[in-house]
Amino acid sequence: MRLSFFIALLLFAAPAAPAVDLAQESAQHGDIEVAVLLDAGEQSGSASASVRIHARREVIWSLITSCAEALHLVPGLVACDVMETAADRSWQRIRHVMDYSWYLPKLTYEIRAFYDQPSRVSIERISGDLRVLRGSWVLQGDGDYTIAHYAVNLATGFWVPHWIVRAALRRDLPKMLRALRTRAEFVQKQKP
């Protein structure tokens, strides 16, 4: 859970803007549903996406709560370090470094992830290069499948070219969910 953790996490956090200043887009990316809401300046926004995965919730849970897996799932994520874990494992403080492109500076930020195993992960920004970042994963069982819902609100706190924000929300979120589905279905097949 980490761009498509800058992006996904960027997708996690933004203050609400007046309705007249928002542009909403919904798209179907194959079997992945994506909805994006951007402010007029496109420096903050929110997005949500859902994907149906042929794997149990526990398999998907193990992937979205693993820094090692996040490095493979989230475009641009180059470091994911657990800094602190609650004694009861109900939350973790995690540091991310995003290196999205040669034309953008690296982003470093810390989040706190709250866990309600095996159905929900909530994320909020603690510190770092992003001004606002909030999001969640919700996993719903559906027979042999799991419906994974992802939502994020974000505000960068610095100017980013509009096309980068749009590209991140439109392209990288579905890319992250496809990678999650592929990995989860592979892991599920390996389990007896």
Question: In this predicted model, what pLDDT tens digit does every residue of 138-151 receive, in sequence order?
Answer: 999 999 999 999 99
Residue 1 lies in a domain: no
Would you place residue 7 in the very low, low, confident or very high pLDDT band (cuts 50, 70, 90)? very low
What span, in angstroms and rounded, lies between the C-alpha atoms of 76 and 99?
5
What span, in angstroms and rounded, lies between the C-alpha atoms of 72 and 100?
14
- Give the chain's length: 192
- Cα four-point dihedral sign 154, 110, 170, 32: negative
- Judged by average pLDDT, the poorest of 18-27, 132-141, 149-158 is 18-27
Q: For residue 143, is it left (φ>0), alpha (ψ between -120 and 50) or beta?
A: left
**Burial letters for 128-157: b for 16+ Cβ neighbours within 10 Å, e otherwise?**
bbbbbbbbbbbbeeeeeebebebbbbbbbb
* Residue 141: partners with Cβ closer than 8 Å, 6 or more residues away: 56, 57
Residue 37 lies in a domain: yes
Q: What is the pLDDT of residues 52-78, one digit of tens each?
A: 999 999 999 999 999 999 999 998 899
Residue 95 lies in a domain: yes
Q: What is the pLDDT of residues 83-99, one digit of tens each?
A: 999 999 999 999 999 88
Q: What is the mean pLDDT of residues 3-25?
A: 34
Nearest to 156 by CA among 9, 2, 51: 9
What span, in angstroms and rounded, lies between the C-alpha atoms of 152 and 12?
2
Q: What is the pLDDT of residues 92-124, one digit of tens each?
A: 999 999 887 776 678 899 999 999 999 999 999
Q: Are 60 and 53 in contact (CB under 8 A)?
A: yes
Residue 100 lies in a domain: yes
- Tell me the residue range of the domain where 110 lies: 6-190
- Cα four-point dihedral sign 107, 94, 91, 72: positive
What span, in angstroms and rounded, lies between the C-alpha atoms of 173 and 175?
5
Residue 23 lies in a domain: yes
Residue 24 lies in a domain: yes
Residue 174 lies in a domain: yes
Q: Is the pLDDT of residue 16 over 60?
A: no
pTM recorded for the entire structure = 0.80
The overall average pLDDT reported for the chain is 80
- Judged by average pLDDT, the poorest of 30-34, 135-139, 141-145 is 30-34
Q: Which neighbouring-strand residues pair with 90?
A: none
From edge to edge, which strands make up the β-sheet containing 132-142?
23-29, 32-38, 44-53, 145-155, 132-142, 120-128, 107-116, 91-98, 77-85
**Total number of domains constituting the chain:** 1
Q: What is the mean pLDDT of residues 25-51?
A: 72
